[in-house]
Amino acid sequence: MPQVFEFKLPDLGEGLTEAEIVRWLVEVGDVVAIDQPVVEVETAKAMVEVPCPYGGVVTARFGEEGTELPVGAPLLTVAVGSEGALEPVGLADSGSGSGAEAGAVGSAVGPGAGSGGAGSGAGEAEASGNVLVGYGTGAPVARRRRVRPEAMAAPVAAHVTATAAVSAAVPDTVQGPVAVVSPLVRKLARQHGLDLRQLAGSGPDGLILRADVESAIRALTEGAAAPTPASAVAAVSVPESVSAVQPSVPSVARPAASPAVERIPLRGVRGAVADKLARSRQEIPDATCWVDADATELMVARSAMNSAGGPAAGPKVSVLALLARICTAALARFPELNSTVDLEAREIVRLPEVHLGFAAQTERGLVVPVVRDAQARNAESIGAEIARLTEAARTGRLTPAELTGGTFTLNNYGVFGVDGSTPIINHPEAAMLGVGRIVPKPWVHEGELAVRQVVQLSLTFDHRVCDGGTAGGFLRYVADCVEQPAVLLRTL
């Protein structure tokens, strides 16, 4: 007899407490191997494929795509056994991903079923190769309970039977726990103001399924939308002679219905960005200074780098890579800006390494990938890493480690066609350099008016870590390097 194990959403690290299901990679009835990715979830940091530590047949999925689950909530159940692991298991689940109908199977699994690998009924458990918080790689086999045969072989037609018996009410005097296993069913009932004690479950042992709640919701909706009986409206007949002499009364146009208010949940990347920006504004006394710089010579130097042939040829160097290299040189001169503030200890913590973050706008929202140890890289190396991280950001494949740990951020908002901005510091960092668009403008060059490539640079800094003189010196050095790239030769 196969044994059923419940796989719960593991702790994905970085202090994350929840994740949203983006895409299921398996269907109910599929055979999965140990460590096979079964679902793609989106956290506040990145998109992650979650591997399952059990090998067998998927018997239930908990949560539809777009559902947000807390860490520790059931993801799916897997039937493991020498015979059952090779045959798809028929369940009362249409494959929609709700997983609520499989409550009978999930309830047969003990709370500790998610610690360790799943083994056959006769031998020892086979350990997963992935380290999942709460599962490990070689933990003893968890407490197992056999699944009732009728729960494992429930036909798909059970949905029809469940729907037919949905809205039967339970007497008001019923007390005690409600027969609901799935947290999604409870949430659905709570959102629509349903009292689960008033529903009779159609599942095994009176278990309330999602179909029961949905049917009750439909019954409430249909009752509220019932039309007014025709007898309530009296039809008044007007004599033809009267209507012929009386002037027609123009119909009064009804005011157009106002559009419904749209509410967008602050979750995922958008929620994480909102929390971090709000915290930055609350904790950091920031100030901003800016300067216009003539970037003509920098553009000429970049063109020379990218057009070089022979042994000097190499990958193309972007403007962002050159600005990042300028930042690392400036931070070496002004280390106060590569720091953070420890509020509890009331200390300024200066950091020896520069982990340079750069703002990247993606379809999922604003993310800040981090170039590790940027102080030890040249412009070519920084450019290659920026290109790799940018591509990973566009495809949603950045890992949490690639999105955290930054010490200074470079924000190139010039790609949006704007000249200046006062950026918000990426908490808990101490500064951010903003770069506007590079455009031709009239400029006094060598005593004469000329058209030059001009860029606006802005620095927002934490006034707790330094004064305006330090921030101004940093920004002036960056501007000097932009106007005269040869200045960087001193630090190369």
422 contacts 288 by C-beta, under 8 angstroms: yes
Q: Rounded distance, CA 181 to CA 109, Å? A: 11
Using alpha carbons, select from 474, 155, 37 the residue that is nearest to residue 289.
474
Regarding beta strands 339-342 and 365-367, do their DSSP bridges make them parallel or antiparallel, or are they unpaired? unpaired
H/E stretch holding 394 reads helix 379-394
Q: Rounded distance, CA 166 to CA 208, Å? A: 9
Give the contacts of 39 (CB within 8 A, at least 6 positions apart): 21, 23, 24, 25, 26, 49, 50, 75, 76
Strand partners, 217: none
97 contacts 125 by C-beta, under 8 angstroms: no
Q: Is the dihedral of CA 281, 287, 292, 298 positive or negative?
A: negative
Strand partners, 360: 367
112 contacts 134 by C-beta, under 8 angstroms: no
446 contacts 393 by C-beta, under 8 angstroms: no
Is residue 159 part of the annotated active site? The answer reads: no
Mind spelling out the 3-state secondary structure of 33-96? CCCEEEEEEECCCCEEEEEECCCEEEEEECCCCCCEEECCCEEEEEEECCCHHHCCCCCCCCCC
Q: Rounded distance, CA 376 to CA 392, Å? A: 22
Q: Rounded distance, CA 91 to CA 100, Å? A: 12
H/E stretch holding 296 reads helix 296-307
What CA–CA distances, in Å, run from 359 to 157, 424, 466?
52, 12, 24
> What is the three-class DSSP state of 251?
coil
Give the contacts of 216 (CB within 8 A, at least 6 positions apart): 166, 167, 194, 199
67 contacts 184 by C-beta, under 8 angstroms: yes
Using alpha carbons, select from 183, 233, 5, 265 the residue that is nearest to residue 111.
5
- Rounded to the nearest 10 degrees, how much is the dihedral formed by the CA atoms of 382, 383, 384, 389? 90
Using alpha carbons, select from 431, 428, 393 the residue that is nearest to residue 269.
393
Catalytically annotated residues: 463
